[in-house]
Chain A
Amino acid sequence: MHFFKRKKNRQQYFQQMTMPWRERLYNVALRQTRTSARAEDWVQETFMRAWQDFDDLADPQAVYAWLLKILDHVIADDIRKEARRQQIAPVISTEELFLQEQHSSYQGPFEQLLQQQTDQQLIKAIQSLPEDFGKVILLRDIEGLSYQELSRILAVPEGTIMSRLSRGRRLLSNILNRSDRQGKLPQTDKTTKGIYK
């Protein structure tokens, strides 16, 4: 409500607060889809909702986390609508990944393997992770947010963030190892993510 008193400043204030985050938000969106058009739609929708709910922004310091949270909802809504998960053909199941998670036999220089991956390959590998794991990696390792911020954005306890991040990074290294041996990235069947609950 307090912003209503300074409505003349509202537009200006909104732009001032959100404009610096546009590009980063766009990149977060871009890393969660295979088409840039879809990322653009998500970003536009996010800023529309942000503008409409601007008065809900309680802590101006946390504007980026707030925008990320809105983006997360926008993406979830969109995915629910399109049920696009159905269209992703499973090549290996995440169950299989988890089985090998405990006894990954790879002993070679992981760092070297990692450096050989192009940025695009890494993004693809993250996208192939079950959604919950990919998201924490994206927000923590790429965006550099704290566990506390992640907890607020995704509305789960910090302990859950930590365990998802642990498993997510482990899965990611398995995927990279595997792709190194097979010469291509696997795609996981995200519809089986229920098994992690």
Chain B
Amino acid sequence: MSDNRNLKALHLEIQNLLAGYVDDSLSETEKYIVEAHLAGCLTCRMDVERQQQISQRLNHLPLSRLPAHLQQKLDRIPEQPLPMSGKKTVRDHWKVLRNGFNKRIQIKPLITLSGWAVALILMLVLLLPLKPSDNQQTIPMVAQVLAEYQSAGISGQFNLHSKVGVNAPASWPDARVLASWETSIGGAPATAYAVRTGNHIVFQYAVTEKVFFRNPVVRMKVAKEGRYQAKENGLMVVALPVKKAGLLIVGPEKAIPEIKSISL
């Protein structure tokens, strides 16, 4: 009676090892125990046989081809910018890309002009350089504004309501403010401005003093030369101190005005 029960328990125990037996993944001892049991258990012998047959049959399933449109989507993935300011920012940034750029920036429209919004979308799509970035930046705020600038072009969903009569912190002869929105840079609130200059669009970010001076490299450069600037893949970021705050200008290198023509 109790022998029977032990046998039953062993049988159940052995059943959990049968896949390993079929796949030759048991230790020598386990293999020995299983084989001893198999000799006296028809159920387990049949189980082994079926497992082998299933495994063999499934091994030969044909592969479906990767659809061309998926192939193309996957090709484009590494073209996306990748801010170098740590995991969190990277993840946040991807969230932006997935949800569409417009969801992230908190827009406080003063006056809504749908015509402007449409024109702006078109211009951004046409004018923003879509070239992906290698992202040499290690200064978080700089990496972030570069990424935002680029993702605006890539996502092409820049559905902004424009403000009329708003002045950006920095102005130069042919600069025209297209839109402004509230965002967050370096974890602190910031105001962004899209400015058209010639055939390009340049973003300006008014950031807090704390964020602006957080990085020692920026601090040193600003102290010595009055500004910090970085270039990457044809894009340029200029960081300028302004009264009780900082200003980041990002755009195609050739669209960034000479420092002397900028009035703050």
Q: Is B183 an interface residue (CB 8 A)?
A: no
For A45, the closest partner residue in chain B by CB is B98
Query: Given the interface contacts A52-B91, A141-B58, does A110 sit within 8 Å of B53 by beta carbon?
Result: yes
Q: Is the CB of B74 within 8 A of A22?
A: yes
Q: Which of A88-96, A162-170, A184-192 contacts its partner?
A: A162-170
Q: Is B39 an interface residue (CB 8 A)?
A: no
Q: Is the CB of B70 within 8 A of A173?
A: no
For B137, the closest partner residue in chain A by CB is A7
Q: How many residues from A make CB contacts under 8 Å with B?
A: 48
Q: Once bound together, how far apart are the Cα atoms of A4 and B87, in whole Å? A: 13
Q: Once bound together, how far apart are the Cα atoms of A19 and B61, in whole Å? A: 21
Q: Is B136 an interface residue (CB 8 A)?
A: yes
Residues of A within 8 A of B78 (CB): 10-11, 14-15, 51
Q: Is the CB of A169 within 8 A of B77?
A: no
Residues of B within 8 A of A30 (CB): 64
Q: Once bound together, how far apart are the Cα atoms of A172 and B66, in whole Å? A: 27
Q: Nearest-CB distance from B64 to chain A (Å)?
A: 6
Q: Is the CB of B82 within 8 A of A142?
A: no
Q: Once bound together, how far apart are the Cα atoms of A36 and B16, in whole Å? A: 34
Q: Is A23 an interface residue (CB 8 A)?
A: yes
Q: Is the CB of B58 within 8 A of A137?
A: yes
For B73, the closest partner residue in chain A by CB is A44
Residues of B within 8 A of A122 (CB): 57-58, 61
Q: Is A59 an interface residue (CB 8 A)?
A: no
Q: Is B134 an interface residue (CB 8 A)?
A: yes
Q: Once bound together, how far apart are the Cα atoms of A44 and B73, in whole Å? A: 7
Q: Which of B44-52, B145-153, B157-165, B199-207 contacts its partner?
A: B44-52
For A46, the closest partner residue in chain B by CB is B74
Q: Tell me the residues in window 147-178 of chain A with beta carbons closer than 8 Å to chain B beta carbons.
A: 147, 158-159, 162-163, 165-167, 169-170, 172-173
Q: Once bound together, how far apart are the Cα atoms of A7 and B62, in whole Å? A: 37
Q: Which of B17-25, B212-220, B238-246, B249-257 contacts its partner?
A: B17-25
Q: Is the CB of B17 within 8 A of A162?
A: yes
Q: Pick the contact of B66: A26, A137, A159 (CB < 8 A).
A: A26
Q: Once bound together, how far apart are the Cα atoms of A142 and B136, in whole Å? A: 42
Q: Is the CB of B59 within 8 A of A141?
A: yes
Residues of B within 8 A of A115 (CB): 57
Residues of A within 8 A of B82 (CB): 10, 51-52
Query: Given the interface contacts A140-B23, A141-B54, A166-B18, does A26 sit within 8 Å of B70 by beta carbon?
Result: yes
Query: Given the interface contacts A40-B67, A119-B61, A162-B20, does A172 sit within 8 Å of B54 by beta carbon?
Result: yes
Chain A 55-97 per-residue mask, 1 if CB under 8 angstroms from chain B, else 0: 0000000000000000000000000000000000000000000
Q: Once bound together, how far apart are the Cα atoms of A39 and B240, in whole Å? A: 47
Q: Once bound together, how far apart are the Cα atoms of A147 and B25, in whole Å? A: 8
Residues of A within 8 A of B16 (CB): 159, 162-163, 166-167
For B51, the closest partner residue in chain A by CB is A169
Q: Pick the contact of B20: A7, A48, A147 (CB < 8 A).
A: A147
Q: Is B229 an interface residue (CB 8 A)?
A: no
Q: Is the CB of A170 within 8 A of B58?
A: no
Q: Is A34 an interface residue (CB 8 A)?
A: no
Query: Given the interface contacts A48-B77, A122-B61, does A114 sit within 8 Å of B53 by beta carbon?
Result: yes
Which residues of B does A touch, CB under 8 Å? Answer: 15-20, 23, 25, 47, 49-51, 53-55, 57-59, 61-67, 70-71, 73-75, 77-80, 82, 84, 90-91, 94, 98, 132, 134-136
> What would be 6 A-B contacts, judged by CB atoms less than 8 Å apart?
A26-B70, A27-B64, A122-B61, A123-B61, A158-B25, A170-B50
